Amino acid sequence: MIVCFDIGGSAIKGAIAHAPDRILPLGRKPTPLDDFDAFVAVLKEVLDEAGGVPERIALSITGVVDPDTQATKCANIPCIDGRRLSAELSTALGRPVLIANDADCFALAEAGIGAGRGHRIVLGAILGTGVGGGLVVDGKLINAQGGFAGEWGHGPVVATQAGHPPVEIPLFACGCGQRGCVDTVGGARGMERLHLSLHGIALTSEAITQAWLAGNAQAARTIDVLVDLVASPLALTVNITGATIVPVGGGLSNVEPLLDLLDIAVRGRILRRFDRPLVVRGECRVEPGLIGAALLGLRGEEA
């Protein structure tokens, strides 16, 4: 038996996993943000709910583990930021604790039981509030020891002209400290930023996509520019990794016509040719973080 957790800035969700197809959800509790003892106490409460003694515990977290120091970088849960979380929780909970980033867990879930089944190299792409990703090769995370592999959303790579016909695009400042990251234009906030820059109108991503699907010309221009900006970095990532499938998660993955356009654009810019969709909607629609953490724990991979 494995107990797995999906830990975000607002909630901690737990589950018992006996096998990839036997994952039983437990309770959902608020995440203590500033008190590490309270954070540990919540995990213990969920473990008590599970009953029995798990072989190990696996966590999907909103943050990254430094592969050199094993310290956790997690801006939105201050009480775990900077801690060697795996070691500290293993001591506090009395069981081995494995940890992986939430985007990595999404990729692991899709590779194991989702759209990536049967593929050696799976690039999981997140198009949510921002842009993220994870990479799985032969069923295992590249980031088994922590790190940033697969994080195609960051790095100053965005074009300064995009769209048909081309329009000038400013290099927007990114939360990572750089300018011109895919994260600044590719997720929901990026779509909103582009729409404001192109048309001087502030709309939510939901309103923009709805207007686009209804035939609005301004929204169509925003989507055209967004796809053009995002497709090249994603295509380069596919070339570098050799991924043969790119399952997409996050809120924008629900806009399937957008994924269709992105798929066509990416397949037109990569070296290998595919006669079937490459960029696809992820199949793990419910709790992919828990599923990925469960697979991490069941396989006993170090993370």
Average pLDDT over residues 164-172: 95
Contact indicator for 74, 63 with CB cutoff of 8 Å: yes
| Same-domain check for residues 34 and 61 | yes
Query: Does residue 21 carry a pLDDT above 50?
Result: yes
The pLDDT of residue 276 is 96
User: Predicted confidence band at 148 (pLDDT cuts at 50, 70, 90)?
Assistant: confident
Contact indicator for 24, 14 with CB cutoff of 8 Å: no
User: Predicted confidence band at 19 (pLDDT cuts at 50, 70, 90)?
Assistant: confident
Percent of the chain topping pLDDT 70: 99
The pLDDT of residue 226 is 98
The pLDDT of residue 137 is 96
Average pLDDT over residues 221-239: 97
Partners of residue 125 on adjacent β-strands: 133, 248
Average pLDDT over residues 144-149: 83
Q: How far apart (Å, rounded) are the C-alpha atoms in residues 17 and 1?
A: 6
| Same-domain check for residues 240 and 155 | yes
Size of the chain in residues:
303
Residue 54 lies in a domain: yes
Query: Does residue 303 carry a pLDDT above 50?
Result: no
Average pLDDT over residues 235-247: 97
Average pLDDT over residues 186-207: 97
Percent of the chain topping pLDDT 90: 77
The pLDDT of residue 218 is 98
What count of other Cβ atoms lies within 10 Å of the Cβ of residue 193?
A: 19
The pLDDT of residue 60 is 93
The pLDDT of residue 78 is 93
pLDDT tens digits along 287-302: 888 999 999 888 875 4
| Same-domain check for residues 101 and 157 | no
Domain span at residue 33 reads: 2-105+286-299
| Same-domain check for residues 183 and 255 | yes
DSSP category for residue 139? T
pLDDT tens digits along 35-50: 999 999 999 999 998 8
| Same-domain check for residues 133 and 98 | no
282-296 in b/e form (b: 16+ CB < 10 A) is bebeebbbbbbbbbb
User: Predicted confidence band at 204 (pLDDT cuts at 50, 70, 90)?
Assistant: very high
| Same-domain check for residues 146 and 252 | yes
Residue 33 lies in a domain: yes
| Same-domain check for residues 28 and 143 | no
Average pLDDT over residues 269-276: 95
CATH number at residue 201: 3.30.420.40
Strands (E), the chain: 2-7, 11-19, 22-30, 56-61, 64-65, 72-73, 97-101, 121-127, 131-137, 140-141, 161-162, 167-168, 246-249, 279-281
The pLDDT of residue 51 is 84
Residue 112 lies in a domain: no
The pLDDT of residue 165 is 95
| Same-domain check for residues 129 and 261 | yes
Domain count, the chain: 2
| Same-domain check for residues 33 and 91 | yes
Average pLDDT over residues 55-70: 90
| Same-domain check for residues 228 and 253 | yes
| Same-domain check for residues 55 and 134 | no
| Same-domain check for residues 152 and 292 | no
Residue 110 lies in a domain: no
Q: How far apart (Å, rounded) are the C-alpha atoms in residues 80 and 71?
A: 9
Residue 111 lies in a domain: no
Average pLDDT over residues 105-110: 94
Q: Which of 221, 281, 229, 284 is nearest to 257 (CA)?
A: 281
Average pLDDT over residues 260-271: 98
Average pLDDT over residues 187-209: 97
Residue 90 lies in a domain: yes
